[in-house]
Each structure stands twice: as structure tokens, then as C-alpha cells.
Amino acid sequence: MPNILEFIDANKSRYEEELKEFLRIPSISTSPEHKGEMLRCAEWVSSEMKKIGLQNVKVMPTAGHPVVYGERLDAGKSAPTVLFYGHYDVQPVDPLNLWTNPPFEPTIVGENIYARGSVDDKGQVLMQLKAIEAHLRTASTMPVDVKVIIEGEEEIGSPNLDKFLEEHKDLLSCDTVLISDTPMFGYDQPSLCYGLRGLCYMQVDVTGPNRDLHSGFFGGAVENPINALAVMISKLKDEKGRILIDGFYDNVQPISELEKKEFARLPFNRTDFMKDLQTDATPGEAGYSELERMWARPTLDCNGIWGGFTGEGAKTVLPSKASAKISMRLVPNQTPDEIAQKFEAFFNKIKPAGVTITVTDLHGGMPAMTPIDSAGMNAARKALKEVFGKEPFLTREGGSIPIVNSFSKILGAPTVLMGFGLPDQNAHSPNEKMNLKNFHRGVKCGALFYSNLV
């Protein structure tokens, strides 16, 4: 039997072909028209799980998109159990015209494979399935017991997964959760992430007059909902970047002095950061570094805003309606429910006369922190060191994976966030890509992670 790392090296081109197949399925969870494709993708994942040697593989229904489950539990009585979690759903692809190649026609250029889902999260899911496969092709069993769940609703806030965990607590019981859905600090710099922000995602709809009006005839005596919305949005933060929603910071856990020191030691380069984004400043909450602001402080951002006339040319209209989508990234110990209530109360307080508003809570996710000294973290640290030849950085991240909190709350298991993305890989943007060298290194790290646990 070949050595497991040699097996992985010998199978790189097959992995890339399989990844292309996975990436060709447009599994956009938020879009009702893609319901059939979601199911097709779940079936693909299930057949892949069977092929690599997982057992008891099933596509399990939820109130939304299904969860795919598989396991391999023949490592022996004293072996620990790892639950690998990932998601097969992807974000929408718009604006389509900014993609160089069609989003669901995976294209390899140089070291990268371009497609929606390549890094978030299909590439990282497949690399971990290949890690399991490499064990089962070079030995008769896994070194530890392994369970796998790949869900289809992460990108819409995992609305049905808590219930799924509750209902299948025994099936999913484990000692450690493993997730590959976070970035590395840099191309050659492996990272283990121990904190994720939460999310509270709101929509505000503003109605002024009961119909669109001639802005000359009526302008001056009617409130314009777009103007009113802009004024309300401008009241959400002060000039120092502090969020003004009453009580917003009540439960925010301050960044510890130790953590501040650790963040400051990481080689964040402001100039490179600005150059990559072709921007000339890194504004945000006063008194905090960029890494502190992006990883460990809450934020508020408009994600979309619309209303009135947006076609070509000019139309003198005083519109009836305007809307905005506004989301807030949360940190421990804020909760999405608490923040949604405070957000709604604040809008009702600042709403000017002459308009009515409706505030809707679209979805949310809890922030999460994971222990840095667990058996899983140590196994991951060692695996990364073996493959990259470098100690991993310990990082927090600004993104959210809502279910991480539930893994500790419902299953009582700590999570290891060992991810292989990169900051420039355009997750959620046009031309999303996965670096293939890091894909293959990721397969090896996944494989060694299991060996290092025993």
C-alpha cells in the first residue's frame, strides 16, 4: 500500500476533475428556482460519500434543503469521533457580467480554479472528503471514527439545522467537529481560526405617499421615502464609526489585552490591503486596529438600497417607496434576536413624520468562540506544520458560520476551524476561485489531522 501522502500526490488530477463536476451544479440555496439543482447537488454529495467508502450514507430531509450524512465507525472502541461539517450551497452569482468565465463552468487558469463555490465551500468540502478517501484507500479503516454532515442552507443562515441537531443528537454525537470554511492568513501561511462573528440581517421598507408623484407638482410638501431612508441610515453611526442604536454595545465582550497583543503581532500590511482593493483608506471604529475591527468588533453595513427611478436618463418622480437591506456583524455576547429588537426600536424612534416603515428580520447567526487547546486543535496544528512547514497563526475571522455555536451548545463538542481559503479568493463575489496548490495541501492536512488524533 502506498503512503497516504504519496497516494494524495498521485491523485491530484482526478481530484480536480471531481471538483469540476461538483462545481458545475448551480446549488444556490436562496433562489427558489434552484430547488431542483439543490437536490441534484445533495445527490451528488451522497454518491461521492458512498464512493469514498463512507457508510450509512443518506440524504436527510429538513423543512428546507436536505442534509447529506455519512459515517465510518470502525476505528475501534477507544478511538475518538470527528464530525466533519461543510456546506454544498453557494451564494447567488450576480452581477453576472463581471465574471470572466461563466460561474458554473469551472475553469483552471494557472494555480486557480474559478467557479462559484470553488472556495466557499465546495472546494474545501471535497478536499476533506478526499482526505477520508485517502485513508480508506491506503488502509482498511479510518484512524478515528468519522461522521460527515454537508448541509444546503449555510448561506441563508442554517435556519433548519439547529432542529436537525436536536433531532439527531445521538447520530451526530462526537468529540470534535472539523470545518474547512475559513481563509488562511496568507498564501503560505496556514491558520487556525478560533472565533467567528455572528450576524443580524434586517430589511427596512419605507413608504411615503400612496403612489409615485410628479416631483414638481408635489415636491416641497410631501416626504420623499428615499430622502427619509437616507437620513435614517445616516443616524446609525457617528463620525467616529460608533453604532448609535440604543444598547447596541451592552453585551459586547471587550477584546482582552492578551488578544490585542497577539493580533498586533500578526503581519497585517495596511498598504498591501489597500492596494489589493484599490482604495486609499481603511476607515472604521476609532481606537481599534484593522484586524480588531474586522475580527472582534461589531459592525453595521448596508448591503443593498433601492427605490424610485434607476433606469437610464432622468425621470422627475417623487417615489412612493424605498428599501434597504442592512446587516450587522456581532461579537460575543451579542445575540441576533436582541440586536434585531434594538434595531427595530431605533428605527421606530428616528422615523420622520410623513412615512411609514416596516422592519423585517431576515436571518441571523450566533457569534462563536472555540477553545485553542483542545485535542482537535493540537492535531490540526501539527498537521498544518507537517504540510506547510510552518506553525499556523491563530486567527479570528469576521465572517459567520451560524452552526458553530450550536455544535457546542447542542452536541457539547468543540469545533476546529482549519480552512484553506485566501483573502483574495472572491468568496461571494464575481470570479470566485480556489488555489489548487492549497487544495492539495488541504487534502494532506485533512488526512494527517485524523492520524494525529490517535
Please report, as ranges, the residues that interact with ligand BES according to CB under 6 A. 120-121, 154-155, 157, 181-183, 196, 199, 365, 397, 399-402
Minimal distance, residue 397 CB to ligand BES, in Å? 4
Joined together, the cell numbers standing for residue 292 give: 480588531
Residue closer to ligand BES by CB (options 163, 349) is: 163
Q: What is the DSSP string of 70-115?
A: EEE--S-TT--EEEEEEE--B----SGGG-SS-TTS-EEETTEEES
Dist. CA 58–CA 50, nearest whole Å: 9
Query: For residue 121, is the peptide bond before it cis, meaning its omega torsion is within 30 degrees of 0?
Result: yes
- Least gap, CB of 412 to Mn ion (angstroms): 24
Q: Are the C-beta atoms of 418 and 108 separated by less than 8 Å? A: no
Q: How many whole angstroms from its chain centre is CA 342?
A: 24
CB of 399 to Mn ion, least distance (A): 7
Catalytic choice (121, 154, 292, 397): 154
Instruction: Supply the minimum distance, in Å, between the C-beta of residue 415 and Mn ion.
Output: 14
Active site residue 89: yes
Q: Is 247 left (phi over 0), alpha (psi -120 to 50) or beta?
A: left
Residue 397, contacted partner among Mn ion, ligand BES, none, CB below 5-8 A by kind:
ligand BES
Strand partners, 395: 193
Q: Which does 198 bind (CB under 5 to 8 A by kind): Mn ion, ligand BES, none?
A: none
Which CB sits closer to ligand BES, 204 or 330?
330
List the single partner that 432 binds among Mn ion, ligand BES, none, CB under 5 to 8 Å by kind: none
- The entry of Mn ion, ligand BES, none that residue 400 binds, CB within 5 to 8 Å by partner kind: ligand BES
Q: Nearer Cβ to ligand BES, position 157 or 225?
A: 157
Nearer to ligand BES, 320 or 334 (CB): 334
- Non-local (6+) Cβ contacts of 14 within 8 A are none
Pair 14, 95: CB distance under 8 Å: no
Smallest Cα–Cα separation from 125: which of 157, 92, 152? 152
Chain residue at closest Cβ approach to ligand BES? 399
Name which of 186, 150, 300 is nearest 238 in CA terms: 300
Nearer to ligand BES (CB atom), residue 307 or residue 421: 421
Among residues 89, 120, 133, 145, the one annotated as catalytic is 89
Nearest distance from C-beta of residue 454 to ligand BES, angstroms: 29
- For this structure, is 238 an active site residue? no
Residues involved in catalysis: 89, 154
